[in-house]
Amino acid sequence: MRSLKLASVFVVVAVLAACSATVQNFSNQPFPADVAKLSMAEIEETIIETASTREWIVQREGEGQLTATYAPRSHSAKVAISFNQKQYSIIYADSSNLQYNGTTIHRNYNRWVNNLRQDILRAVSARAALAN
């Protein structure tokens, strides 16, 4: 009986651990050198358009500072996006229903943010290439 309880606890812990991961922040991600020829306004516009295609709601906080919120179903994730003509960062800001405990979060959060990171890099790089 005791071993059955212990096994049950182990299974529950294993399942919960499989659903969570360490929060990924992307600090100072470099843009390709040719992005420097884009204005800050062009970079901001590209980031906002790119995030919107994945249903992130973006608010401008100041020069080179955005806040983006993604809210699928009953979850929500909020990130701070900072950028200049050389690099950008995406940093965890807040969430709900994602089991955030200060270190770990539901694994879907990292997928959402990584997709956003890749999309931003791709879109800003493409816009810079077209500016030649």
Total-model pTM: 0.85
What's the structural domain count of the chain? 1
Nearby residues of 110 by Cβ (< 8 Å), 6 or more positions away? 21, 23, 24
> How far, in Å, are 35, 77, 95 from residue 57 at the CA level?
24, 10, 14
Please determine, for residue 124, whether its predicted confidence score (pLDDT) is greater than 60.
Answer: yes
Tokens of 114: 């990584």
Range(s) of the domain holding residue 124: 2-130
Q: What is the CATH number of the domain that holds 38?
A: 3.30.310
| pLDDT-based confidence at residue 12 (cuts at 50, 70, 90) | very low
Q: State mean pLDDT over 51-64.
A: 98
Assign 125 to helix, strand or coil: helix
